[in-house]
Structure formats: C-alpha cells, structure tokens
Amino acid sequence: MTHQQIGGKVEQLDTTNGRAFDATSERITASLLTLAKDNGLTRVDHVLLSDKTKDLPAAQTLFVVQGDPKDPAMLRAHMPTAEAAQRPVQDSFAQLESINQRLAQDRTQEQAVEQQRSQEQHQRGSVPSL
C-alpha cells in the first residue's frame, strides 16, 4: 500500500464529487494511509464516503476498504471526514512512522519467539531416548 495508491483513490472520489485534488485531498490521503496501516490493511482498493442516514448527512465518515465492499471478508477502517481533512500531513506522517516502528518491533519479537521455539524443538530432538 502506498501514498500514491491511496491518493489515486482520493482523486477518484474528488472527481466523482466534482472537486479537484487539492491540499485538503493531500491531508485526507496522508490520514487514510496512516489509518489503513494502523488497521492492518495491506492495500486499499476503495476509498468511500458514508451515505446519508436518518441522523447524519452524507460524507461524515471516510472508509478505506481492502477487497470488495460487498464481500463480508473485506477489511475496512474508518475515520471522521472532518478529522482526515484537517489533520496536517506532517502529523499523519509522524504517526505513520510510529506505527512502522511498532510493527517492526512486533516482527522482531515474533521472529525471536519463533527462533526460540525452533531451538527448543531441536534440543529436544537431539536428546537420546532410552
């Protein structure tokens, strides 16, 4: 998943809604990239706006979707549209850096646990049985 990939989806959304890609679109793109990464999405196939409901007007919430939106197995994450549009790009990228560091630490810990399990199994396997 890349900034460019999400930016393309935001640009499509802008075009559909009669807007040009602008600084607000760039802030939304950075916010959605951070949101998707933090929620474990590996790609973003769709960027969607919420529909009007009985209580709320349309476009109150932005969704990033991995997979077909009609597929129950799709992955998605959401955030308020206003928050995504107002959050400075630098803030999103700072949060993204923190997320990347956390994910790298998680991978390192998982590898260490797996290596320890492998060594324990190897040691048990090399002990002669009587």
The per-residue pLDDT for range 31-74, each reduced to its tens digit, is: 999 999 999 999 999 999 999 999 999 999 999 999 999 999 99
Q: Where are the domains of the chain?
A: 3-124
Residue-level pLDDT at 128: 59
Q: At what angle do helices 23-38 and 3-16 cross, to 10 degrees?
A: 130
pLDDT digits (tens, 9 = 90+) for 86-120: 999 999 999 999 999 999 999 999 988 888 888 88
Q: Which two tokens stand for residue 8?
A: 């393309």
Task: Give CB contacts under 8 A, 24+ apart, made by 51-57.
Answer: none
Cα 4 → chain centroid: 14
* pTM over the 0.75 mark: yes
Q: What is the pLDDT of residue 129?
A: 55
